[in-house]
Amino acid sequence: MKICSIPDCCGPILAKGFCQVHYWRNHRHGSPFINPSRDGAPLDWIGLHVGHGGEECLLWPFGHNSSGYGSVFYRTHIMGAHRAMCFEAHGEPPSESHQAAHSCGNGHLGCVNPKHLRWATAQENAADKIIHQRGTKLSIEQCREIAIRALNEKGRDLAAEFGVSAALVSKLKRGYYQRSGIANELKSA
């Protein structure tokens, strides 16, 4: 029987050379040595970067979930690292239903830059996802242009022109942006 590759661990290998305990620590926290109940490295890192002044994305260096978002043991349970950073940088959310939203659209890459995070309603976060869909960032003006042109042009042609999906063009045409919280921005743009 093969044993875990971690020194002084005699557990049988589960996967990737690690026993069950070390495999899950590596999977959840990015290192088999991090024990969230006693190792504060991820929380220390958040504390060191909560005042980050750069404009570029600040990528989470520890474990990520299957969608690419950073994960951390925070406030007695595992949550998104971006949410933990939002708590530290911006305080408590206005309500329990508020989400930590990214202005950069790079949450799936592990961005935790406090300047890119804010508390948002589910509708506001959904509007951000439309604007940032598939890494293609649309301006408010482009969303408005697509919505107007979609009334007379084929959705697939607009999708190809703007580098977005036909489903997004359809949502904009149907006025989804009006229900998603960016309608006022579209009117004022």
Closest by CA to 178, choosing from 106, 126, 117, is 126
Residue range 117-130: mean pLDDT, rounded: 85
pLDDT at 39 over 80: no
**Tokens found for residue 167:** 């489903």
Residue % of the chain over a pLDDT of 90: 39
Picking from 63, 87, 120, the residue at the C-terminal end of a domain is 120
pLDDT cut 70: percent of the chain above it: 87
Question: 52-83 pLDDT, tens per residue?
Answer: 999 999 999 988 887 889 988 888 888 999 99
Q: Are residues 157 and 113 in the same domain?
A: no
Long-range contacts of 116-124 (CB under 8 A, 24+ apart): 116/57, 116/58, 117/82, 117/85, 117/86, 117/89, 117/90, 118/86, 118/90, 119/86, 119/90, 119/93, 119/94, 121/97, 121/181, 122/97, 123/179, 123/180, 123/181, 124/180, 124/181, 124/182
For 150, the domain range is: 138-189
Q: Are residues 15 and 56 in the same domain?
A: no
Token pair 């948002």 is found at 120
Same-domain pairing of 56 and 104? yes
Across the chain, mean pLDDT equals: 84
Check residue 162 and give its pLDDT.
85
In angstroms, the CA 20 to CA 62 distance is 19
**Domain presence at residue 16:** yes
* CA 56, chain centre distance (Å): 15
Quick one: pLDDT at residue 36?
Answer: 59
- Amino acid 142: pLDDT: 85
Cα–Cα nearest to 60, from 95, 109, 123: 109
Decide if 153 is inside a domain.
Answer: yes
Give the number of domains in the chain: 3
Do 62 and 45 contact (CB within 8 A), yes or no? yes
Does residue 130 form part of some domain? no
109 and 55 in one domain? yes
Residues 109 and 161 both lie in one domain: no
Tokens read off for 37: 């109940």
Do the Cβ atoms of 82 and 119 come closer than 8 Å?
no
Convert the pLDDT of each residue in 151-178 to its tens digit. Answer: 899 999 998 898 888 888 888 888 755 5
Among 92, 120, 148, where does a domain finish? Answer: 120
Structural contact between residues 74 and 60, judged by C-beta atoms closer than 8 angstroms: no
Whether 6 is covered by a domain: the verdict is yes
Q: Which residue, of 120, 146, 180, is where some domain finishes? A: 120
Whether residues 27 and 53 share a domain: the answer is no
Q: For the segment 78-115, what is each residue's pLDDT rounded down to a tens digit?
A: 899 999 999 999 999 999 999 999 998 899 899 999 99
**Is residue 128 in some structural domain?**
no
DSSP 8: T
125 occurs within a structural domain: no
